[in-house]
């Protein structure tokens, strides 16, 4: 029997909903997809609940209509500058006398790592496991191996309870459940960076409208994730202030004529703001547009550079840096990013098998949600009870919030 | 952009047309004020006098103003106040009788003062008050120091709100935005001169409106009625066009005018003064269209003063100048009721909605100002209720969201502004 699952991303410019069908053999096919403009968000945070709810509900309804079914629960993407990541460590000595590692040892180490409570008013969204060390050696699955001590770490992401709760409320108001909250950056990375890339080490930068999500993989595991509260809207805002034009014209100019760096051909070139050359229309120097965007883009990557610090080293990032999200469509952004970050940057592609309609950089997060949600993120050696039934239920206990 | 033509000596109207019964006075206060007065080039208005007020005897001696007034001899013995604006305020208070005498019988007063200085910051609000008491209409043009001049900058913000209490319109001219004024390779001197020219234009516009006869005339009483309230935020802009589509070009340039895009400038006006000057070929329909568009742009209510003057020397050229003020308190009279012709006007629904929004803003600002003073420049924990008045409006489309601090910088403020990158529009 196939199963219907859904995913929702409440983005700053658009709400997106997907309905997927999981066949018995585990294959996922997307059967419904919809995207609606969202005006109730600023910088990845909900400022107008009603507007957000309208947009999200319309998106879910459309996606359901398209798929011809209904969804009971969805994976929800979580972003916003309120999210913080910290590394938590736990360790345990192998308890059995024959020094054989059991699942129980891993559990104890995990428990110790996750013991740390979030600050008041905040809650953990995610515990993303980093590699397991058995006596200092990286082991993907140490169960059954010989050793004395288990070390494991979790990249723990905590967020503002209020912000997460309101996002969940938007969904539950539509009478469906949130089966799990997933960090946008990790969702996008799941989609655009395959296991090989993640093992080689890669940095995925998702340039959204409101915020920029970054996640860094090292040896296949998340080593860092972060949210920078600067996105495509900031470029629009800068253009609107700098060229003294309305926001909607700034947005239009950004999409039609925006470039990440000025080049000599921009000199003297003028583009029209409205395009119909009536009263009120005016021409704008293309150089001014690219100048304004350039300063902002450079600053954004400088912040990313600062945030990552020493993690940004060529040897650990053999997979290079991937750009995704709507903002990655800006022409020339890769070369600017390469210059600032000092490591080759390229636009992310999608794995084969995804229809061209869906394979847009701005859909990376919502697609990734489904894929990440379906994967198993438990500890090795555990009895995978949830694999059969419990995917939908696994959440609340982990997230600690929601229904 | 050729702007000198407005100041060309040959572009004068016949002085015989001037309205003799009205007196206007340009008052420069403090160092920056004096140099602005010296830089003024008003086209021989007979009713306009210049007065320089300072404590610094040497600065006064260098000034070319027609009349000079030195105060505070007892306190500084002819030297400057050294940036002490409380001292300057005290001096002005003490010698207010002398100042008042100079201001008597004047109908229209232009105050020019750099708010970052001692004299400009401290004395100007006292002088504005005296001017209001004397029954004059007060317009102030106030350069503000760079925001990196931390202490002077916060002092200037205080002085600005003080000055607003007593003036009919205050046009702030922040040094920060000098970079965006003038051409791409403009030198510092040229930028300052450009700012000075803008002040000249504003004053000339108002003067010619009041003193000269034009195609569409404005009575001084109308002007007074329109601006007869306390000044909130103000806007001031200038545009010029030439050729067949002169009016369109001028409108475009007006909308682009850097003065209209300064941080502290309102985007809407309750009281709006529009002056269009053009050659003899100016078409009535074009004028109407222009005034309509300007009104719409600034969401002006019923207090629009529209004047159109013909100047043969302009030929094909056409200039538009707008000066607007937004009332912060609906229907509130100024602290000092200037004269009997004050009329209380019922607010339209539209305006009330507009003002209530502004009032909220003011309350917010006041609250945040109090907080900011208490906390200094520290990054607050609670960002939602926190905003600096002077930074609030630099945030453009993010004005309504919480601040976005990263290492002391607000990331919502355009990067090119924070990095001091010049944008050639």
Task: Choose the closest CB to A247 out of B289, B293, B397.
Answer: B397
Interface check B404 vs A, CB under 8 A = yes
Bridge partners (DSSP) of residue B110 are: B26, B139
Residues 6+ apart with CB under 8 A from A198: A189, A217, A220, A221, A319
Nearest CA in chain B to A304: B406
Q: Across A260-348, where does the E strand assignment appear?
A: 270-272, 283-285, 321-324, 345-347
Q: Do B425 and A285 touch (CB under 8 A)?
A: yes
Q: Measured between alpha carbons, how far is B131 from B336 in angstroms, rounded to an integer?
A: 10
Within a 13 Å sphere around the CA of B325, how many CA atoms are in the beta-carbon half? Answer: 28
Q: Do B423 and A242 touch (CB under 8 A)?
A: yes
Q: Do B401 and A42 touch (CB under 8 A)?
A: yes
Higher pLDDT: B333 or A144? It is A144
Residues 6+ apart with CB under 8 A from A392: A72, A73, A177, A179
pLDDT at residue A203 above 90? yes
Residues 6+ apart with CB under 8 A from A261: A290, A294, A297, A332, A335, A336
pLDDT at residue B335 above 50? no
By the 8 A CB rule, do A157 and A169 touch? Answer: no
- Give the Cβ contact number of residue A14 at 10 Å: 21
Structure confidence at residue B4 (pLDDT): 44
Q: Do A238 and B414 touch (CB under 8 A)?
A: yes
pLDDT band at A35 (very low <50, low <70, confident <90, very high): very high
Nearest CA in chain B to A280: B252
Name the token pair of B308.
């159109």
For residue B208, the surrounding DSSP H or E stretch is helix B188-211
Angle A286-B421-B178 from CA coordinates, rounded to 5°: 110
Interface check A321 vs B, CB under 8 A = no
pLDDT band at B181 (very low <50, low <70, confident <90, very high): low
Of A142-156, A190-204, B238-252, the poorest mean pLDDT is in B238-252
Q: Measured between alpha carbons, how far is A148 from A94 in angstroms, rounded to an integer?
A: 5
pLDDT band at B329 (very low <50, low <70, confident <90, very high): very low
Nearest CA in chain A to B384: A47
Q: Measured between alpha carbons, how far is A161 from A167 in angstroms, rounded to an integer?
A: 10
Alpha helices, DSSP H, located in A29-125: 49-67, 103-113
- Substitution target from B412, B416, B424, B425 for chain A, most A beta carbons within 10 A: B416
Task: Choose the closest CB to B411 out of A230, A244, A282.
Answer: A230
Q: Do A244 and B256 touch (CB under 8 A)?
A: yes
Residues of A in contact with B424 (CB under 8 A): 285, 287-288, 291
Name the token pair of B224.
């007074």
Higher pLDDT: A373 or B352? It is A373
Give the gap in angstroms from C-alpha B349 to the nearest C-alpha of chain A: 25
Interface check B401 vs A, CB under 8 A = yes
Q: Which fold has domain B4-325?
A: Rossmann fold (3.40.50)
Interface check B299 vs A, CB under 8 A = no
Average pLDDT, chain B: 70
Of A303-317, A384-398, B222-236, the poorest mean pLDDT is in A384-398
- Percent with pLDDT over 70 in chain B: 68
Predicted confidence (pLDDT) per residue in B96-140, tens digit: 888 888 888 888 888 888 888 778 788 888 888 888 888 888 888
Q: Do B396 and A241 touch (CB under 8 A)?
A: yes
Alpha helices, DSSP H, located in B230-348: 246-256, 284-297
Question: Which residues 113-132 of chain A have a CB within 8 Å of chain B?
Answer: none
Residues 6+ apart with CB under 8 A from B161: none
pLDDT at residue B60 above 70? yes
Instruction: Assign B144 to helix, strand or coil.
Output: strand
Give the gap in angstroms from C-alpha B364 to the nearest C-alpha of chain A: 18
Structure confidence at residue B164 (pLDDT): 81
Q: Measured between alpha carbons, how far is A189 from A226 in angstroms, rounded to an integer?
A: 13
DSSP letter string, A165-177: HHHHHHHHTTT-E
Interface check B248 vs A, CB under 8 A = yes
Higher pLDDT: B26 or A389? It is B26
pLDDT at residue B345 above 70? no
Structure confidence at residue B262 (pLDDT): 60
DSSP state at residue B14: P
Most confident range (mean pLDDT) of A91-95, B5-9, B243-247, B287-291 is: A91-95
Structure confidence at residue B153 (pLDDT): 74
Query: How many residues make up chain B in this entry?
Result: 425
Interface check A162 vs B, CB under 8 A = no
Question: Which residues 358-397 of chain B have a CB within 8 Å of chain A?
Answer: 394-397
ipTM: 0.77
Structure confidence at residue A263 (pLDDT): 83
Of A83-97, B50-64, B215-229, the poorest mean pLDDT is in B215-229
Interface check B419 vs A, CB under 8 A = yes
- Put the strands of the sheet holding B234-241 in their side by side order: B234-241, B318-325, B271-278, B303-310
Structure confidence at residue B381 (pLDDT): 36
Task: Choose the closest CB to A47 out of B401, B406, B411.
Answer: B401
Give chain B's end-to-end CA distance (angstroms, integer). 12
Average pLDDT, chain A: 84
Most confident range (mean pLDDT) of A254-268, A335-349, B194-208, B255-269 is: A335-349
Structure confidence at residue B233 (pLDDT): 66
Structure confidence at residue A63 (pLDDT): 93
Count CB pairs under 8 A between chains A and B: 91
Nearest CA in chain B to A44: B401
Interface check A334 vs B, CB under 8 A = no
By the 8 A CB rule, do B303 and B221 touch? Answer: no
pLDDT at residue A329 above 70? yes
pLDDT at residue B373 above 50? no
DSSP letter string, B341-395: T----PPPHHHHHHHHHHHHHHHHHHHHHHHHHHHTTPPPS--TT---HHHHGGG
Q: Measured between alpha carbons, how far is B309 from B311 in angstroms, rounded to an integer?
A: 6
- Percent with pLDDT over 90 in chain A: 24
Give the gap in angstroms from C-alpha A161 to the nearest C-alpha of chain B: 16
Q: Which fold has domain A84-157?
A: Dna Ligase; domain 1 (3.30.1490)
Q: Do A303 and B406 touch (CB under 8 A)?
A: yes
Structure confidence at residue B265 (pLDDT): 58
For residue B409, the surrounding DSSP H or E stretch is strand B409-410
Q: Do B424 and A81 touch (CB under 8 A)?
A: no
Nearest residue to B423 via CA among A274, A230, A290? A290
A132-134 and A41-42 beta bridge pairing: unpaired
Interface check A296 vs B, CB under 8 A = yes
Of A173-182, A226-235, B40-49, B162-171, the poorest mean pLDDT is in B40-49
Q: Do A237 and B414 touch (CB under 8 A)?
A: yes
- Percent with pLDDT over 90 in chain B: 0
pLDDT band at B66 (very low <50, low <70, confident <90, very high): confident
pLDDT band at B268 (very low <50, low <70, confident <90, very high): low
Domain ranges of chain A: 84-157
Structure confidence at residue B378 (pLDDT): 37
Rounded to 5 degrees, φ, ψ at B61 are -65, -35
- Substitution target from A80, A273, A295, A336 for chain B, most B beta carbons within 10 A: A295
Task: Choose the closest CB to B415 out of A228, A238, A282.
Answer: A238
Structure confidence at residue B304 (pLDDT): 80
Residues of B in contact with A298 (CB under 8 A): 415
Residues of A in contact with B417 (CB under 8 A): 241
Predicted confidence (pLDDT) per residue in B377-398, tens digit: 333 333 333 333 333 456 667 7
Domain ranges of chain B: 4-325, 359-418
Structure confidence at residue A60 (pLDDT): 93
Q: Do A291 and B406 touch (CB under 8 A)?
A: no
DSSP letter string, B52-120: EEES-HHHHHH---SEEEE--HHHHTTS--TT-HHHHHHHHHHTHHHHHHHHTT-SEEEEEE-TTSHHH
Residues of B in contact with A229 (CB under 8 A): 404, 406, 411
pLDDT at residue B1 above 70? no
- Substitution target from A212, A228, A282 for chain B, most B beta carbons within 10 A: A282
Task: Choose the closest CB to A236 out of B260, B397, B421.
Answer: B397
Higher pLDDT: A382 or A379? It is A379
Most confident range (mean pLDDT) of A195-204, B150-159, B162-171, B277-286 is: A195-204
Predicted confidence (pLDDT) per residue in A358-368, tens digit: 888 888 899 99
Residues of A in contact with B419 (CB under 8 A): 295, 299
- In terms of C-beta density within 10 A (0-12 exposed, 13-18 middle, 19 or more buried), how is residue B349 classed? exposed
Q: Measured between alpha carbons, how far is B67 from B53 in angstroms, rounded to an integer?
A: 9
Name the token pair of B230.
């306390």
By the 8 A CB rule, do B122 and B87 touch? Answer: yes
């Amino acid at each position: 029997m196939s199963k219907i699952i859904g995913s929702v991303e409440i983005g700053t410019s658009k709400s997106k909903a997907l309905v997927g069908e999981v066949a018995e053999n585990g294959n996922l096919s997307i059967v419904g997809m919809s995207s609606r403009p969202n005006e109730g968000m600023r910088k990845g945070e909900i400022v107008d609940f009603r507007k957000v709810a309208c947009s999200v509900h319309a998106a879910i309804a459309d996606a359901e209509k398209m798929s011809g079914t209904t969804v009971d629960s969805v994976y929800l993407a979580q972003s916003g500058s309120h999210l913080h990541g910290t590394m938590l460590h736990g360790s345990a000595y192998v308890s059995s006398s024959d020094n054989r590692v059991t699942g129980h040892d891993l559990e104890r180490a995990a428990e110790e790592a996750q013991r740390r409570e979030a600050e008041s008013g905040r809650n953990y969204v995610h515990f993303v496991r980093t590699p397991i060390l058995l006596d200092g050696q990286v082991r993907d699955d140490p169960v059954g191996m010989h050793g004395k001590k288990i070390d494991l770490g979790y990249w723990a992401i905590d967020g503002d309870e209020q912000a997460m709760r309101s996002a969940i409320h938007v969904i539950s108001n539509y009478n469906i459940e949130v089966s799990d909250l997933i960090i946008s950056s990790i969702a996008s990375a799941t989609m655009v960076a395959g296991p090989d890339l993640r093992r080689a080490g890669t940095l995925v930068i998702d340039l959204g409208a409101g915020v920029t999500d970054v996640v860094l993989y090292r040896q296949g595991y998340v080593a860092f994730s972060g949210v920078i509260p600067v996105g495509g809207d900031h470029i629009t805002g800068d253009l609107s202030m700098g060229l003294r034009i309305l926001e909607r014209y700034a947005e239009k100019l950004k999409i039609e004529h925006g470039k990440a760096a000025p080049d000599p051909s921009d000199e003297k070139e003028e583009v029209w703001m409205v395009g119909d050359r009536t009263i009120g229309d005016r021409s704008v120097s293309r150089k001014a547009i690219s100048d304004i965007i350039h300063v902002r883009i450079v600053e954004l990557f400088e912040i990313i550079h600062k945030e990552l610090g020493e993690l940004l080293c060529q040897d650990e990032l053999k997979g290079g840096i991937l750009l995704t999200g709507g903002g990655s469509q800006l022409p020339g952004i890769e070369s600017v990013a390469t210059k600032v970050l000092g490591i080759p940057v390229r636009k992310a592609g999608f794995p084969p098998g995804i229809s061209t309609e869906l394979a847009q950089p701005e859909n990376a997060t919502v697609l990734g949600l489904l894929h990440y949600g379906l994967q198993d993120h438990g500890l090795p050696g555990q009895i995978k009870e949830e694999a059969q039934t419990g995917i939908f239920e696994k959440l609340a206990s982990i997230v600690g919030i929601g229904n | 952009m050729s702007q000198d033509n407005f100041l060309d000596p040959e572009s004068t109207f016949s002085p015989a047309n001037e309205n003799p019964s009205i007196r206007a006075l340009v008052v420069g206060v403090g160092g920056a004020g004096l140099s602005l007065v010296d830089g003024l080039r008003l086209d021989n208005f007979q009713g306009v006098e210049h007065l320089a007020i300072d404590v610094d005897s040497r600065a006064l001696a260098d000034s070319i103003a027609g009349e000079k007034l030195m105060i505070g001899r007892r306190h500084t013995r002819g030297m400057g106040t050294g940036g002490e604006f409380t001292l300057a305020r005290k001096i002005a208070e003490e010698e207010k009788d002398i100042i008042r005498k100079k201001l008597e019988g004047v109908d229209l007063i232009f105050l020019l003062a750099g708010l970052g200085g001692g004299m400009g910051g401290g004395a100007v609000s006292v002088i504005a008050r005296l001017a209001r008491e004397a029954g004059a209409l007060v317009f102030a043009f106030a350069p503000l120091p760079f925001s990196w001049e931390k202490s002077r900058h916060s002092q200037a913000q205080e002085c600005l709100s003080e000055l607003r209490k007593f003036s009919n319109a205050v046009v702030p001219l922040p040094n920060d935005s000098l970079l965006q004024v003038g051409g791409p390779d403009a030198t510092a001197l040229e930028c300052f001169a450009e700012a000075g020219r803008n002040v000249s234009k504003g004053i000339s516009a108002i003067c010619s409106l009041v003193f000269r006869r034009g195609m569409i005339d404005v009575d001084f009483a109308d002007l007074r009625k329109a601006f007869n309230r306390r000044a909130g935020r103000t806007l001031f802009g200038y545009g010029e066009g030439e050729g067949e589509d002169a009016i369109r070009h001028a409108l475009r340039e007006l909308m682009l005018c850097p003065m209209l895009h300064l941080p502290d400038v309102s985007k809407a006006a309750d009281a709006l003064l529009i002056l269009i000057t053009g050659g003899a070929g100016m078409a009535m329909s074009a004028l109407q269209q222009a005034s309509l568009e300007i009104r719409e742009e600034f969401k002006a209510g019923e207090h629009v003063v529209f004047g159109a003057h013909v100047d043969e020397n302009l030929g094909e050229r056409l200039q538009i100048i707008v000066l607007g003020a937004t009332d912060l308190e609906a229907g509130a009279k100024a602290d000092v009721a200037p004269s009997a012709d004050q009329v209380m006007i019922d607010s339209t629904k539209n305006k009330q909605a507009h003002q209530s929004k502004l009032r909220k803003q003011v309350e917010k600002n006041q609250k945040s100002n109090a907080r900011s003073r208490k906390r200094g420049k520290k990054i607050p924990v609670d960002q939602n209720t926190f905003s600096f008045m002077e930074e609030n409006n630099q945030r453009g489309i993010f004005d309504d969201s919480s601040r976005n601090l990263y290492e002391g910088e607000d990331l919502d403020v355009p990067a090119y502004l924070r990095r001091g990158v010049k944008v050639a529009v």
